[in-house]
Structure 1
Amino acid sequence: MSNFNSDQYRIDGTQKFEIKKAKTRSKDIYESKEEYEQMQADSAKELDELQSKMYAHNRYGLLVIFQAMDAAGKDGTIKHVLSGVNPVGVKIHSFKRPTETELGHDFLWRTNAVLPQRGTITIFNRSYYEEVLVVKVDPSILTNSQRLPAELTSDLDKVFKHRYSDIKNLEKYLYRNGIRVIKFFLNVSKEEQAERLIERIEDPSKNWKFEEQDVKVRDQWDDYMKAYEECINTTASKKAPWYVIPADDKKNLRLIVGKIITEELQKMDMNYPDSSPERAEELHHFIEVINNQNLK
């Protein structure tokens, strides 16, 4: 991937994003299954090395957000990209429908509770962005499930304007505290999604992944695309960019995501902690102690 350029996928607020122009498939960056597997292995190794340095440096954290329509490949991408990374330094949180406890709090509460610690990568499989995507498409959630006071929901445009603002302020706050944020929208085509959903129905080993709700959401495809476009345009920034990744080819998708995460870690000014001359001498002494233990 020597000629890889992540800027072609990056949305940072400097230009307007139009979802109808965004590609769902791109030219293969691998030539064979064997090359893909080697590239995936190399990417995982490099990511593991950078994360180990990050863990030892213990100054930065990284929040990686995945958003997409159903069957776009979020689970598989997370699994493959992070397959070789030491699990000590990675935490993955998958956000499904809010529980009663979560609904009793503000909309950022459940995600704020699991934001990254320094030295770690935290993955959000779906996130607080559901609150300006799912809720935007079905605003009755505000008054029914979320039980917001009527005076706060009388002007829906204002509700979502405030939520966008809250999210942007949160991401600024994280950056100012050493927590970097990158956001992926996995852009799958409606046709490819249909094939994957049907496969879930036809394959007994994948039936558990299928929910009737997936079909209902699919019927609202245009509304969701409009919500994603507005969300990405409103919340993209240079400090917390979106990356819109073609998702019809899962192998391409995984390689691209892995490279972008690696690039973000490479931007961090990280080093393994240095030992003082006194500490180095002390450590060298322990080599002698350990060798003498073998003689007992």
Structure 2
Amino acid sequence: MPIPSISQVRRTLIVPHGKPFDLAARDTGDRSLFEDKENAKTSLKKDAAVINELKDRLYAGKKRSVLVVLQGMDTAGKSGTIKGVFADTTPLGMEVKAFKAPSTNELARDYLWRVHDAVPRKGHIGIFDRSHYEDVLVVKVRGFAPPEAIAERYAQINAFEKHLTENGVVIVKCMLNVGYAEQGIRLQERLIEPHKRWKFNPADLEDRALWSDFMAAYETALSRCSTRHAPWYVIPSDSRSRRNAMIARLVRGALEDMDLEWPDPGHDAGDFTIV
């Protein structure tokens, strides 16, 4: 089976702008793009190599940047995605930010302050492990902010992302859509397997008990904030290898769309003699 084109992956996974959206209709185990797991692994390996080359061009040019937003329930595979998609990418020009509960200093400022500060510099690829969308997801479900404040944030986030894209930041937003049953299996793995036990957080079970509320919050955020300048892509994430392959296709596509070229250093090789 041939590797799906980048345009095909985009069409299949995108959340349409300005149209009704039903998150429950998106199959967390969908294999329509990568029916065969080995095909997904082959695709990922090829894309990872190209991503590394294009990242070097991006870094050398220092004119634009790429922001990859990874959002999903616990065990959806945010850190695994970073490890897989960027397996061949050298650290130079890479930035990863994991958003945890805000500090006292961050809480004293507007909710986007700490996010804007973490936006990748020109020439860099930045990856958000969780993001500003926590402020319309966990903050909404847990009631950490009043409903009227939450209602205003969707437009604020859209305006913030539009500002970024108008200033040279290409945004790739991926919702890692893992199923309830699969999450249960992965949480159990964290309890049993020694190398995963450190990841287990009892608070994850509290969020699991609020699954339907979180899914409703995700559906609203995805439908309200999938814009033409920064669309959302819903990634079937019950299969780790397929998840990584799909996201790699999207990241590679974003970099290729930038038409990156090596910058002109302003001199020719013949201008110098090395002795």
Q: What TM-score do the two structures reach when normalised by structure 2?
A: 0.93
Which runs of structure 1 show a deviation greater than 6 angstroms over 4 or more consecutive aligned residues?
none
Q: Give the drift of 1:204.
A: 2.0
5+ residue gaps, structure 2, are none
**Corresponding residue SS for 1:88:** coil
- Alignment partner, residue 180 of structure 2: 190
* In structure 1, C-alpha distance between the alignment counterparts of 2:54 and 2:244, rounded to whole Å: 18
**Corresponding residue SS for 2:262:** coil
* Larger Rg computed on CA atoms: 1
Query: RMSD across aligned C-alpha pairs, in angstroms?
Result: 1.6
5+ residue gaps, structure 1, are 143-152
Is 1:79–2:83 an aligned residue pair? Answer: yes
**Corresponding residue SS for 1:63:** strand
> Are the counterparts in 2 of residues 51 and 120 from structure 1 also a CA contact under 8 Å?
yes
* In structure 2, C-alpha distance between the alignment counterparts of 1:196 and 1:134, rounded to whole Å: 20
**Corresponding residue SS for 1:184:** strand
Does the C-alpha gap of structure 1 residues 12 and 32 become closer, same or farther in structure 2, counting only changes over 3 Å?
A: closer
- Alignment partner, residue 199 of structure 1: 189
- Alignment partner, residue 118 of structure 2: 114
- Alignment partner, residue 163 of structure 1: 153
* In structure 1, C-alpha distance between the alignment counterparts of 2:113 and 2:222, rounded to whole Å: 22
> Are the counterparts in 2 of residues 189 and 248 from structure 1 also a CA contact under 8 Å?
yes
Of 101, 106, 117, which residue of structure 2 is paired with 1:97? 101
AA of the residue aligned to 2:172: I
> Are the counterparts in 2 of residues 175 and 181 from structure 1 also a CA contact under 8 Å?
yes
Q: Give the drift of 1:15.
A: 2.4
> Which stretch shows the higher mean deviation, 48-57 or 72-81?
48-57
> Are the counterparts in 2 of residues 12 and 240 from structure 1 also a CA contact under 8 Å?
no
- Alignment partner, residue 26 of structure 2: 22
- Alignment partner, residue 140 of structure 2: 136
Number of aligned pairs?
A: 270
Of 228, 241, 265, which residue of structure 2 is paired with 1:238? 228
- Alignment partner, residue 147 of structure 1: none
* In structure 1, C-alpha distance between the alignment counterparts of 2:248 and 2:259, rounded to whole Å: 19
- Alignment partner, residue 262 of structure 2: 272
Q: Give the drift of 1:274.
A: 2.7
> Are the counterparts in 1 of residues 18 and 223 from structure 2 also a CA contact under 8 Å?
no
* In structure 1, C-alpha distance between the alignment counterparts of 2:36 and 2:12, rounded to whole Å: 21
Of 216, 228, 245, which residue of structure 2 is paired with 1:226? 216
AA of the residue aligned to 2:150: F
* In structure 2, C-alpha distance between the alignment counterparts of 1:3 and 1:129, rounded to whole Å: 29
Q: Give the drift of 1:105.
A: 1.6
Q: Give the drift of 1:29.
A: 2.0
Does the C-alpha gap of structure 1 residues 199 and 2 become closer, same or farther in structure 2, counting only changes over 3 Å?
A: closer
- Alignment partner, residue 253 of structure 1: 243
**Corresponding residue SS for 1:11:** coil
* In structure 2, C-alpha distance between the alignment counterparts of 1:3 and 1:66, rounded to whole Å: 22
**Corresponding residue SS for 1:96:** coil
> Which stretch shows the higher mean deviation, 212-221 or 7-16?
7-16
AA of the residue aligned to 1:69: M
> Which stretch shows the higher mean deviation, 124-133 or 1-10?
1-10
- Alignment partner, residue 173 of structure 1: 163
* In structure 2, C-alpha distance between the alignment counterparts of 1:39 and 1:2, rounded to whole Å: 9
Of 252, 259, 275, which residue of structure 2 is paired with 1:262? 252
% identical aligned pairs: 34
* In structure 2, C-alpha distance between the alignment counterparts of 1:262 and 1:98, rounded to whole Å: 32
AA of the residue aligned to 1:112: H
> Which stretch shows the higher mean deviation, 267-276 or 118-127?
267-276
* In structure 1, C-alpha distance between the alignment counterparts of 2:37 and 2:208, rounded to whole Å: 33
* Cα shift readout 1:69-91 (whole Å, capped 9, x = no counterpart): 00011110111111111211110
**Corresponding residue SS for 1:116:** coil
Higher helix share: 1
Q: Give the drift of 1:40.
A: 2.6
